[in-house]
Structure 1
């Protein structure tokens, strides 16, 4: 047998063409100098490694974070600001993650550069009637309605439960006029922040599931399936109602910009319970699992939603991140017509019940759900805290 360098050039090219991952193509060129010389020069394509899942990593001393690459099935350790164990992510947009710390301060962090942008803290939201830092366990008085009385809650409860997601209109590093919109409060209201504001301003007191910036406007899908549209310039006032659907108590809606336009995703989550028969006095543990998805596409001419069975070559990424899509053609190794989802069932996370495990890939072609390759979780045994979030870097900003 001759060495690797003796393999015919034509066969080497065939081998290289069969490789999907960018990093595997690079390794192929490192086998020997003759392989490197006979193969075309590699283009600079950082994004073929992405997106990644930002996950907590348990160590003896602290909880750190890492990027899990579902294609390589590896976790790359990440150095973030201290203390690592107090970080909790409630959003990911334009290469930034939204961190809510133990004191309910809110900060945008670029995990790749370490840059940070502070936003007004949770105490500066419209639902905060009073805040008493000297009352441990009863620091917050939150409005559940537009008027008192207030719900008296601990800062930990408010942190864990009552800030669901923050999305950005653009990167704060490149756009002085960026807008941040938050889903917050007991009733999932909407609030917004603009650069140099010292507080969050009320936008809508409807129960909201998800928001997205699309074609210079803000779209919000409410918990009853109603879709609202707002002008992101000026006062951000309500503009119109697009359509309405109904859903179950635990299920959720998402809005995503795809190659075919704006789509709405309905996520069906089944809730069940397990009773510990060995210890009869123990409480019932309520668990949950994603069972499937339905996809609706917006017909802009009629202002109505049509259900579709396929998203073609697109892939969707849903969870605490700003929902986004990408083409599988640009990211070899990711299966087309699939939905990558993470666990964002806040209700269960708060109650101290096992949570963070509802992570997987839904295939629209056959309706199957599988674990992320190399990242298998067991919902009956483990709680992943804080819940992972999808991260898509912005190399330009």
Structure 2
């Protein structure tokens, strides 16, 4: 019989640690060095997947997160939300009352929910907008982009993309409402269907459905500028894709085109193309390989991860994707697609369409 709690057998302590909620697992490891050593190993320098939410009835929200290293699923308490989006490891929640909050779900669990939640203006408080007061704004927000993590910089900007017309709104700490990015000529179609935006080399860079690369400068005299049109030789490739994503990988700006096919009332992914976009030389280059990098695209703000020999659970030269009707891994080497068989493929629409699966970028 153990003389003290610290003397319990390591295998028993490890088994106990596997039964805990994530916040209790952090507390378990802080008891003493013996318990820390015995606890099962979890990794926070890996991407995580926030699983789709199919429970619309719960007033308090327990979200499920899967670590791609251990493949374990953890439940984390989030504020009540109708929908969620992710960027730089942070979650943007939109409640049924249109209230918006921002938080880092994994660091909150580590501090047993003592981290402050950042309260943003309501989604329907948009300066300069002519949206109908009765609109379901939460159903229109499709992307959330942070210029920097609020944990590392107080001078960050939040940008969101609205669907289907693609206007962009932004917010900075201290502002009481969202501000709408507008063009001098309201008939200019450049802002139609902005599909993705990232913060790249100190500026917001976006892509629209035409394949045009755009720059957004909320504080500048020219808030929106077309940097680069899609090259003629790639027009057919871009024309027939259904989604475009921008990703920074090893300092390069990558454009990822996502192809899907509708067949027998089922929409499924058929492939991807990746282009390196050089804004200085104004050149596009189609890539056959992305080397030791892997890309994470979908409803999240896209990101890349460098894969080394110790990261066996994620694979290099691959694209990890989520979509409206499927999710999985695309292998650049041979074009093979490995679908996640646990995903809900109901296309009419999926039960989780309000709160889809989200890749969570490593952030702490």
Q: 2: CA distance between counterparts of 1:256 and 1:313?
A: 15
Q: Of 337, 341, 345, which residue of structure 1 is paired with 2:321?
A: 341
Classify 1:57/1:309 alpha carbon distance in 2 versus 1 (closer, same or farther; 3 Å): same
Q: Do structure 1's residue 118 and structure 2's residue 119 form an aligned pair? A: yes
Closer/same/farther in 2, CA of residues 127 and 249 from structure 1, 3 Å limit? farther
Contact 1:216–1:231 (Cα < 8 Å) also in 2? no
Tell me which of 153, 177, 191 is aligned to 2:169: 191
Q: List 4+ stretches of structure 1 deviating above 6 A.
A: none
Displacement of 1:240 in angstroms is: 4.1
Partner of 2:156 in structure 1?
A: 178
Q: Which residue of 1 aligns with 2:327?
A: 359
RMSD: 2.7
Tell me if the contact between 1:127 and 1:185 (Cα under 8 Å) persists in the aligned partners: no
1:79–1:235 Cα change, 3 Å: farther
Output the CA distance in 2 between the equivalents of 1:333 and 1:53. 13
Residues 4-38 of structure 1 deviation map (CA, whole Å, 9 limit, x = unaligned) = xxxxxxxxxxxxxxxxxxxxxxxxxxxxxxxxxxx
Matched, 1:294 2:273: yes
Question: Does the C-alpha gap of structure 1 residues 60 and 177 become closer, same or farther in structure 2, counting only changes over 3 Å?
Answer: closer
Matches within 5 A, 1:48-197: 48=45, 50-56=46-52, 62=58, 64-81=62-79, 83=80, 86-90=81-85, 92-112=86-106, 113=108, 114=113, 115-125=116-126, 126-131=128-133, 139-140=134-135, 155=136, 158-160=137-139, 162-197=140-175
TM-score, normalised by the number of residues in structure 2: 0.74
Q: Deviations over 1:284-327 (max 9, x none)?
A: xxx31111100110234421211111100000000121110011
The 3-state SS of whatever aligns with 2:78 is: coil
SS at structure 1 position matched to 2:124: helix
Q: Which runs of 5+ in 2 are unaligned?
A: 1-40, 184-190
Aligned to 1:383: 350
Distance 1:203 1:60 in 2: 33
Superposed CA offset, 1:36-82 (max 9, x none)? xxxxxxxx99445x21110146679736311123443331111222x
CA contact (8 A) 1:250 1:271 kept: no
Residue 173 of structure 1, CA deviation: 3.4
Provide the rounded CA distance (Å) in 2 between the counterparts of 1:241 and 1:60. Answer: 42
**1:262 matched to which residue of 2?**
253
Query: Structure 2 matches for 1:300-319, cutoff 5 A?
Result: 300-319=279-298
- Larger Rg over CA atoms: 1
1:88 to partner: Cα distance? 1.1
Q: Give the drift of 1:179.
A: 0.6
Q: How does 1:219-238 map to 2 (within 5 A)?
A: 219-231=205-217, 233-234=219-220, 237-238=223-224
In structure 1, distance between residues paired with 2:98 and 2:332: 38
CA distance in 2 between counterparts of 1:300 and 1:378 reads: 38
Against the structure 1 CA distance between its residues 235 and 319, is the aligned structure 2 distance closer, same or farther, given a 3 Å change threshold? farther
Structure-2 separation of matches of 1:379 and 1:339: 22
